Amino acid sequence: MSAGSVVAAIVALVSGATTLAAQGGQRLARPAQPSDAERSAEARLVPARGMLRTLAGTWRFDMRFAGNFDGPADVSGTRVFKQLFDSLRLEWTEALEHSPLQGQGVLGFDEKSGRFFSSGVYSAGTSPEFMTGTLADGEPLVTFTPLPFAPDAGRVPGQAFALSVIDADHFTVVALDRAWRSVFTRQQQQ
């Protein structure tokens, strides 16, 4: 191959090449696509935030224990959920009718783990309650189970429960072992 043909080949190659982006050429970079984990976290964050926004307010509840299907409620009271810091955490207080018993706690959603959390302490109880919850796919239902560091976690009946938002004015909380169930109805501001 002669030196002239090599030079001609190099000139043809260089003149036919497109300019680089750094030299003012067209940029071909595309924005990075979010990972599956990021999409999954966002997919859980939106409904979780919506559920917590729905729960904020004052609610009357009626609780019935197993076997009481049509009689008056075994326990009734009021629970108030208020926003705590941001739209992902609510603090709650509870007062029972015809009883001095009270309760308070926190209900929220952890963006990093994609799970709900709940804590509660009651004036009649000896220890606080700590729960973690999983949001169901496709419906406003969170299943809560006790955290394992309690000595009797998971062994005491009625600890695990499901919270289901029915509509903007109703939600239920039901023990997974069916020992009790509560229906909450939003109280309108007067």
| Structural domains present in the chain | 37-186 (2.40.128.20)
Q: What is the pLDDT of residues 86-138, one digit of tens each?
A: 889 999 999 999 999 999 999 999 999 999 999 999 998 778 889 999 999 88
With a threshold of 0.85, does the pTM exceed it? Answer: no
Q: How far apart, in whole angstroms, are the C-alpha atoms of residue 182 and residue 61?
A: 6
More confident: 25 or 162: 162
Q: Does residue 122 contact residue 101 with C-beta atoms inside 8 Å?
A: yes
Q: Give the pLDDT band (50/70/90) at residue 180.
A: very high
Whether the predicted pLDDT of 14 surpasses 50:
no
User: Exposure of 184 by Cβ count < 10 A (0-12 exposed, 13-18 middle, 19+ buried)?
Assistant: buried
Q: What is the pLDDT of residues 140-160, one digit of tens each?
A: 999 999 987 656 655 555 589
CB contact burial 77-92 (16+ within 10 A = b; e otherwise): bebbbeeeeeebbbbb
Q: How far apart, in whole angstroms, are the C-alpha atoms of residue 144 and residue 117?
A: 8
More confident: 43 or 151: 43
Token code pair at residue 85: 């810091």
